[in-house]
């Protein structure tokens, strides 16, 4: 059974036009025995030329739809796309999600959060509306440093690939380091080994305290 907590509704609004361009029939009529070659073509011979509705979706909305589907796939979500120009009028009127909507596309999260208009369809907004499990191992290490050249300490920490963020603090701890490890290459012991060997190996680092979460969820875009 599909997990409804990971299903999103995307509403787009196409433009309907009437084309007079010739369109070939869906299936070509095969000549029958005794048919008059000079007879006028039937409707199936000619195809439809007048009065056929054609729906056009703007490039802005198409881009938003592609972005939503790409991010949803990467984060394990499903998206149901509805073009409101192609659904019945009654269905449009009773759709609670679309009350008060002024701009399309509109994306509705499982919890009811809504993005409205192409300006809101950014990587950051879509990642926030589709939180997902963190695949890598994330850890947070507090550092106490000896007074000295903070720029040098910063440069040394920046050279370590596992160090993703540095936050300089006031209080009992001086620096908060955000670490990130590939799941295949790290567990709690290996994370602590890295901290004690590599970070505490810097002479100015006096002490460390590291937190390794059991489970992490992120609203940030995945890199």
Same domain, 111 and 15: yes
Between the alpha carbon of residue 206 and those of residues 144, 152, 155, 171, 177, the distances in Å are 5, 15, 17, 15, 15
Same domain, 107 and 37: yes
CA atoms of 51 and 36, how far apart (whole Å): 29
Give the pLDDT score at 23.
Answer: 61
Give the pLDDT score at 45.
Answer: 47
Give the pLDDT score at 40.
Answer: 47
Same domain, 125 and 137: no
In total, how many domains does the chain have?
Answer: 2
Taking CB atoms within 8 Å and a gap of at least 24, the contacts of 188-193 are 188/212, 191/137, 191/139
Out of 129, 164, 190, a domain closes at: 129
CATH number at residue 141: 3.30.70.920
Q: Is 223 among the domain residues?
A: no
Let me know if 115 is exposed, middle or buried by CB neighbors in 10 A (0-12, 13-18, 19+).
Answer: buried
Same domain, 23 and 120: yes
Per-residue pLDDT of the chain (223 residues; tens, 9 = 90+): 457 789 999 999 998 876 666 566 655 555 544 455 444 444 444 454 555 678 899 999 999 999 999 999 999 999 999 998 887 765 665 566 687 888 999 999 988 899 999 999 999 999 999 999 998 999 999 999 987 778 899 999 999 999 999 999 999 999 999 999 988 767 899 999 999 999 999 999 999 999 999 999 999 998 7
Same domain, 33 and 101: yes
Give the pLDDT score at 118.
Answer: 97
Give the pLDDT score at 44.
Answer: 46
Give the pLDDT score at 42.
Answer: 46
Max Cα distance, the chain (Å): 103
Same domain, 71 and 173: no
Q: Is 222 among the domain residues?
A: no
User: In this predicted model, what pLDDT tens digit does every residue of 15-53 receive, in sequence order?
Assistant: 887 666 656 665 555 554 445 544 444 444 445 455 567
Same domain, 17 and 119: yes
Give the pLDDT score at 86.
Answer: 82
> Which tokens sit at 17?
């036009």
Would you tell me how many other CB atoms lie within 10 Å of the CB of residue 168? 13
Q: Which of helix, strand or coil describes residue 157?
A: helix
Give the pLDDT score at 84.
Answer: 87
Give the pLDDT score at 25.
Answer: 64
């Amino acid at each position: 059974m599909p997990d409804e907590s990971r299903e999103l509704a995307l509403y787009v609004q196409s433009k309907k036009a009437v084309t007079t361009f010739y369109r070939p029939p869906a299936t070509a009529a095969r000549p029958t025995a005794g048919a008059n070659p000079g007879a006028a073509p039937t409707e199936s011979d000619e195809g439809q030329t007048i009065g056929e509705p054609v729906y056009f979706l703007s490039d802005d909305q198409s881009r938003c739809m592609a972005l939503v589907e790409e991010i949803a796939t990467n984060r394990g979500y499903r998206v149901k796309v509805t073009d409101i120009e192609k659904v019945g009028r009654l269905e449009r009127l009773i759709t609670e999600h679309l009350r008060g909507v002024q701009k399309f596309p509109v994306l509705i999260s499982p919890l009811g959060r809504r993005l409205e208009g192409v300006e809101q369809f950014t990587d950051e907004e879509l990642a926030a509306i589709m939180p997902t499990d963190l695949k890598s191992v994330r850890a947070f290490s507090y550092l106490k440093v000896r007074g000295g050249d903070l720029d040098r300490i910063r440069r040394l920490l920046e050279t370590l690939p596992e160090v993703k963020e540095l936050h300089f603090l006031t209080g009992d701890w001086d620096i908060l380091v955000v670490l990130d490890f590939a799941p295949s290459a790290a567990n709690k012991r290996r994370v602590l080994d890295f901290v004690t060997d590599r970070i505490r190996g810097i002479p100015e680092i006096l002490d460390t305290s590291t937190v390794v979460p059991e489970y992490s969820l992120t609203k940030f875009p995945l890199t």
